Amino acid sequence: DFVMTQSPDSLAVSLGERATINCNSSQSVLYSSNDKNYLAWYQQKPGQPPKLLIYWASTRQSGVPDRFSGSGSGTDFALTISSLQAEDVAVYYCQQYYSTPRTFGQGTKLEIK
Amino acid sequence: QVQLQESGPGLVKPSETLSLTCIVSGGSVNSDSHYWSWIRQPPGKRLEWIGYIYGSGSTYYNPSLKSRVTMSVDTSKNQLSLRLSSVTAADTAVYYCVRGACNLSCYQHYHFDVWGRGTLVTVSS
């Protein structure tokens, strides 16, 4: 199985500051035939289901604010929030869809400092 | 806009079978560019993918759960079902019904784009 490891486990950032969450995959999720990284990011607020933020490692889902961006390739990825807003407090998960079984990171809890 | 609604017993006894349904509204389970998954989240743990099913009824299960899982689809009711047998306390979790995107004919699967609100199932005597 692909093991997805996120860092840090928790993060406290001041309002308006940048937040960066990292995700490492135990194997590459870059599909050579189409040069796409099969990686997604989700946001989960308390009491709610996960919500898709980013797919193909860097493509924002429709309606997601442009302060959210994804980067990386192969095995190392990052989710960046350029200017943290109060409504961004949540747990963030990365997930690979390169291989079955689909696997998720352990989650990173983002809080306001 | 597609919406997914899970339902089922909130409490199941150990060794019994967990049964959940998911009603799909605003879209068809027979979509050419989507597939359907069940994903669970034990309290305080990471999300765990259980498996997927197509509108045709073809399935693929997570090998870690394969011996206990059955997924099915009822196209006349536009709903999905999950059965998990011989449950233990380790199966206590919020269970989500989820839509996945895929290419035409779904020979390649992509990200999960629509999630139900989830239903908590507790395994306890």
Q: Could you tell me which residues are beta bridge partners of residue B100? A: B35, B112
Which residues are within 8 A (CB) of B73 and not within 5 positions of it... i.e. 6 or more apart? B29, B36, B53, B54, B55, B57, B79, B80, B81
> Average pLDDT, stretch A5-13?
98
Q: pLDDT band at A82, cuts 50/70/90? A: very high
Mean pLDDT of A98-107: 97
Give me the torsion for CA of B37, B42, B48, B53, rounded to 10°: -20
Q: Which of B22, B47, B49 to mutate to test the interface with A (most CBs of A within 10 A)?
A: B47
Residue A28, SS3 per DSSP: coil
A contacts of B4 (beta carbons < 8 Å): none
Residues of B in contact with A93 (CB under 8 A): 46-47
Query: Which stretches of chain B drop beneath a pLDDT of 70?
Result: none
The per-residue pLDDT of chain B, averaged, comes to 95
pLDDT of residue B104: 80
